[in-house]
Chain A
């Protein structure tokens, strides 16, 4: 009888530490943040001393041109970065999906940019963008061209940040699409070849549609991560010049540490979180829909037999 008892308690014993840590250090802070977003709170106060101001932070933010600008920059950054990375990453995967020597070495080299610290990525790009000692302007100079104000002009700074992010994250899309390509059913490719499909026809009508479920998931994972980019931009431009590269994450951290408006920073975090919840929900709903469809198709196919 005692062993039955042990068996009944065991799962809870195994789960308890994880549940405890996540409740204390993840769920509680998130709840706390939602509460703090209704307060007028600065870092030297205890939270109990902060004044309750209702929705004022949220309304203030909506009327704040700098916040709207930063929200817009975030959306623009995510959209530009993710679409460019998808095109380049999937394109490269289609090109390199061949039986060549040293493919695993290649993949190893490609994941290096993702593994090293974003701070370091920012550091080395800042060095390369340096107006006088950076490699880009040196090359331009030796070709007799004018130097480019990589980080000191608004639109160039945005482009520079986008380039650095593409360098860091395109490999992610490449690796995932390559894995998807290599797990495609050989029979479909064979059938297409026998039917006389040309290279690009195979890509357009066979490979891409079959990869689509993976591509959608990849896209959404990357999109979610694009909203979390912070360190690279912090090191490269610190949001400037002006507000041209100030994405929301950066603005949250500046509102909290420089402007000392914890309540407003929390409200801003909530806006960002709401945006991401919508995206994640879309991703999960899509997954479910696809699963349901495959199940239905399989069932139909089995009934036919």
Chain B
């Protein structure tokens, strides 16, 4: 980047930038510092920046994964550890399923053109507009009385896959359109069947699109609360559900709850730093390119 020239800006501009950055990540940093404090430090009136960082809150939250005895834990509450495992399984499985199913559908829609792009973008939009709250009643009723998969991870995964599919199909479609059809024809000449063409030629070429779609799907599944709350029982609760359950209690243990919040926030933060370009592509694809 050394050869690119940058315009000189005046100091007020940089001051504005700094203020914006502080505003954007300030609350997140505050959550991080709070999660590293003892409750005594949280409640004390003294300066909020001078304190001894401690991992105790994390030890409390993750007590059943510790390989050593933490001296300050008398009773290990396994709720959060179990929820973390559930969240991981549910998010990963639903992401993989959505990508596989969505990819095939997007490919079919682009290459065999028996439905226009318009139909797909219309239905994507239609699905985007359905609030999860609207699905709450019917999904609860159907899952409980008809499919009888309430309280299982599979039930939650099924809703997430269905919720994410329209968006994934739509975004992957815009990437598949850009794959030159000559490549596929060449592969077909060499004797590849439709499935081989798809898996060996098309898939490797749309990796950036897959990355964007994967991040968005994982994020929805990882962060979702309402439907998980309605469908999950004690053994299939996800992390957002446990967090909400613990704040409705009268006395909030801020240190531990901020530690759990931080653990819930870490995967999306990592994704953002690793793949911000893909995320921005995914976000702008719809509005800017049309």
Q: How large is the interface on B (under 10, 10 to 19, 20 to 34, 35 or more residues)?
A: 35 or more
Could you tell me if B137 and A33 are in contact, using CB atoms closer than 8 angstroms?
yes
Could you tell me if B269 and A256 are in contact, using CB atoms closer than 8 angstroms?
no
A222-236 vs B, Cβ < 8 Å mask (1 yes, 0 no): 001001101100110
A12 to B5, CA, bound (A): 53
Q: Which of B50-58, B63-71, B78-86, B125-133 contacts A (4 or more CB under 8 A)?
A: B125-133
A235 to B245, CA, bound (A): 10
Confirm or deny: B247 has a beta carbon within 8 angstroms of a beta carbon on chain A.
Answer: yes
Could you tell me if A284 and B125 are in contact, using CB atoms closer than 8 angstroms?
yes
Query: Which A-chain residue is minimally distant from B265 (CB atoms)?
Result: A116
Confirm or deny: B230 has a beta carbon within 8 angstroms of a beta carbon on chain A.
Answer: yes
Which residues 9-52 of B have a CB within 8 angstroms of A? Answer: 9, 13, 16-17, 20-21, 23-25, 27-28, 30-31, 34, 42-43, 48
Query: Which B-chain residue is minimally distant from A275 (CB atoms)?
Result: B129
Could you tell me if B125 and A280 are in contact, using CB atoms closer than 8 angstroms?
yes
Could you tell me if A179 and B280 are in contact, using CB atoms closer than 8 angstroms?
yes
Given contacts A269-B137, A272-B134, contact A104 B48 (CB under 8 A): no
Query: With A125-B27, A127-B34, A249-B133 given, can you name 15 additional A-B contacts, CB distance below 8 Å?
Result: A11-B108, A17-B100, A21-B162, A22-B166, A24-B162, A30-B135, A95-B13, A112-B28, A115-B279, A124-B31, A135-B48, A171-B24, A231-B225, A235-B244, A280-B126
Which residues does B use to contact A, with CB under 8 Å? Answer: 4-7, 9, 13, 16-17, 20-21, 23-25, 27-28, 30-31, 34, 42-43, 48, 100-102, 104-105, 107-109, 111-112, 114, 122, 125-142, 145, 158-159, 161-163, 165-166, 169, 193-194, 198, 219, 222-223, 225-226, 230, 240, 243-244, 247-248, 254, 257-258, 261, 264-265, 268-269, 271-273, 276-277, 279-280, 283-284, 286-288, 290
Which residues does A use to contact B, with CB under 8 Å? Answer: 6-7, 10-12, 14-15, 17-19, 21-22, 24-26, 28-30, 32-33, 36, 41, 43, 46-47, 92, 95-96, 98-101, 104, 106-113, 115-121, 123-128, 133, 135, 138, 167, 171-172, 175-176, 179-180, 183, 213-214, 217-218, 221, 224, 227-228, 230-231, 234-235, 238, 248-250, 252-253, 256-257, 262, 265-266, 269, 272-273, 276-277, 279-280, 283-284, 287, 291
